[in-house]
Structure 1
Amino acid sequence: MRVTLAGGISAEVLGDGTPLVLLHSLLSDRASFDRVREPLAARFRVVVPDLPGFGGSRPAAGGLAAVADRVAEAVRDLGGAAPILLGNGYGGFVALQLAIRHPGLAGRLVLADCGACFPEPGRQAFRTMAAVAAEKGLAALTDTAMRRLFAPAFQAANEALMAERRAAFLRTDPAVFRAACAALAGLDLRPDLAGVTVPALVLVGEEDEATPPAMARDLARGLPDARLAILPGCAHVPPLQDPALFLAAVTPFLEESPAGSRAA
């Protein structure tokens, strides 16, 4: 079922139970969860939004904080038990920023292939991508984007999927992409991690070059209640690359989630 939530967030909703909100990466779209959403919907009320500026959702001006605030509006609109937020890549940064800015809104977090702060080479990569996008358009970045999502061997073995992912990337609004790159290049959430007291599962693909395992380890160490899982053979988008492995890693944690009331 397609719905429009508060803040102009377009989302697909399926299943019943505790809300589980799946937030997609910058270089992909909500279809990156297509291989895991139905198994998850057997246990949860799965909500798969287009992040602000993607798909049918209105853009949010003001950087990552504004994006997180807009997603928070949509999450509050869901009602019911405190939701679980599961973010991949950019979606993980959004989920973490939301938890910092809106304490008590989420019951627990799954932060996949993200972190609290990029090292300088990662920051420079975002500055470069923003500059190339401004000068030459997203088409000039497609190969770079795909390398950040998937290892070369996986790309070679999955031509149809890669064609679909390239097309999805090229549908991204260039202005939204550049703004997100600028936000991630300047991001440093490390001083705020101690205030995120909800349980968190930090996941990372061992072959992720975009947000490598060192970032995940640092994030897990900085959160008061976090566990770390490294997924062998995976890169930046485990739900697409190896859905069975991804589900095996997240399901036990998700099923620990208690029902409860959100803070207003």
Structure 2
Amino acid sequence: MTLAYDDGGAGDVVVLLHSSAADSRMWDPQWEALTARFRVIRPDLRGYGRTPYASETPYSDPGDVADLLAALAVERAALVGASYGGRVALQLATAHPDLVSRLVLLNAGYGLEPTPDLTAFGEEEDRLLAAGEVEAAAELNTRTWLGPEADEETRARQTAMQRHAFEVQLAADPEPSQLEWEIDLTRVTMPALVVSGAHDLPYFQMTARHLAKELASARAVHLEWAGHLPSMERPEEITALILEHLT
């Protein structure tokens, strides 16, 4: 399968990897500024945005991204990942360190043991979806992942992206099987910006501290105003952070 994607600008390549609570549209506020400086590629992972949730054989999200970059003849790229997109970026950097020039990890996933806050969120999301309350599950995600700086328009956009993902994934028959790629932080030696938010779940703040400590070349930035998706909450500030790290 070919992922749906946008490809704009010229120069060094930057790949934007979205959160599992959104899709590639979460990067709309960054698009103009980044494409003015770089060639920017932003895919929709399977089951998000414009990409169907289907596969005849087991697949992986980092494998899909690697295949897309190969098809576009991209030999080296900086990866900017939000939440689950950060986990995909770390998986790619582990498997293909020569492909990745730099990392920006915005409240990235990694795979530490779940803490009570994350477990409680997951259980409530599962309960709502099992009851067919898709809208309520989408709104739960918006309340959980967007910090106080997000305005009402941003909250509505994030809810719509999450609702669409739920609808596409719940309708899949059969549901495709995923392969898990490992993350080995000893192989992730390229410069990494590790961003965390004071209004995010404690689990992700703990993850950011772990990544900042274990990555060979990491710079940690803790944002007192931010929730889990700071690029949607204060877009201009996060765009500036990204540009600073990439240039």
TM-score by length of 2: 0.84
Choose from 161, 164, 183 the match for 2:157. Answer: 164
Q: Cα deviation per residue 1:31-87 (whole Å; 9 max; x = unaligned)?
A: 11111111011110011111122122243669x971111111112222245111101
Q: Note closer, same or farther for the CA distance 1:70–1:253 as it changes in structure 2 (3 Å cut).
A: same
CA distance in 2, matches of 1:214, 1:87: 17
**Distance in 2 of aligned mates of 1:211 and 1:66:** 24
Q: 2:235 aligns with which of 243, 248, 251?
A: 243
Which residue of 1 is the match for residue 145 of structure 2?
149
Deviation (angstroms), 1:211 = 5.1
Q: Which residue of 2 aligns with 1:40?
A: 34
User: Are residue 120 (structure 1) and residue 112 (structure 2) matched?
Assistant: no
Structure 2: 5+ residue runs without aligned partners?
none
Task: Confirm or deny that 1:75 pairs with 2:74.
Answer: no
1:261 maps to what in 2? none
Cα 1:61–1:127 shift into 2, 3 Å:
farther
The number of aligned residues is: 238
- Give the distance between the partners of 1:44 and 1:177, measured in 2 at CA: 36
Is residue 207 from structure 1 mapped to residue 202 from structure 2 by the alignment?
no
List runs of 5+ in structure 1 lacking aligned partners.
Answer: 1-6, 256-264
Contact 1:115 1:219 in 2 (8 A): no
User: What is the CA distance between 1:166 and its match in structure 2?
Assistant: 1.6
What's the CA shift string for 1:6-55, capped at 9, x where partnerless?
A: x4111111110111110111111211111111101111001111112212
Instruction: Render the CA deviation track for 1:128-160: whole Å, top value 9, x for unaligned.
Output: 423532332422312310122212x445xx223
% same residue:
32
1:247-258 map, 5 Å: 247-255=239-247
State the Cα deviation string for residues 231-261 of structure 1 (Å, max 9, x = none): 2311111111111211222212101xxxxxx
Distance of 2:64 and 2:241 partners within structure 1: 29
Aligned-pair CA distance for 1:218: 0.6
Structure 1 residues 51, 175: closer, same or farther in 2, change over 3 A? Answer: same
Q: CA RMSD in A?
A: 2.8
Where 1:250 maps in the other structure, the secondary structure is: helix
**TM-score, normalised via structure 1 length:** 0.79
Residue 29 of structure 2 aligns to a residue in which SS? coil
The separation in 1 between residues aligned to 2:91 and 2:171, in whole angstroms, is: 19
Q: Which residue of 2 aligns with 1:29?
A: 23
Give the Å deviation of 1:123.
4.4
Residue by residue, what CA displacement relative to the aligned partner does 1:179-209 show, whole Å, maximum 9, x if unpaired?
A: 9xxx9xxx9966x211212221111222222
Q: What residue in structure 1 maps to residue 224 of structure 2? A: 232
Q: Map of 1:15-26 to 2, 5 A cutoff? A: 15-26=9-20
SS in structure 2 opposite 1:26?
coil
Distance 1:71 1:233 in 2: 31
Pair 1:90 & 2:73 matched: no
**Cα gap change, 1:14/1:221 in structure 2, threshold over 3 Å: closer, same or farther?**
same
Give 2:185's match in structure 1, choosing from 188, 193, 211: 193
2:204 is aligned with 1:216: no
2:99 maps to amino acid: L
Q: What's 2:49 paired with?
A: 55
Cα distance between partner residues in 2 of 1:177 and 1:201: 34
- Single out whichever of 36-45 and 141-150 deviates more from structure 2: 141-150
User: Equivalents in 2 of 1:174, 1:76: separation in Å?
Assistant: 30
Cα distance change of structure 1 residues 216 and 228 upon mapping to structure 2, 3 Å threshold = same
- Measured in 2, the distance between the counterparts of 1:206 and 1:80 equals 35
CA distance in 2, matches of 1:206, 1:17: 34
Q: CA–CA distance in 2 between the matches of 1:127 and 1:141?
A: 11
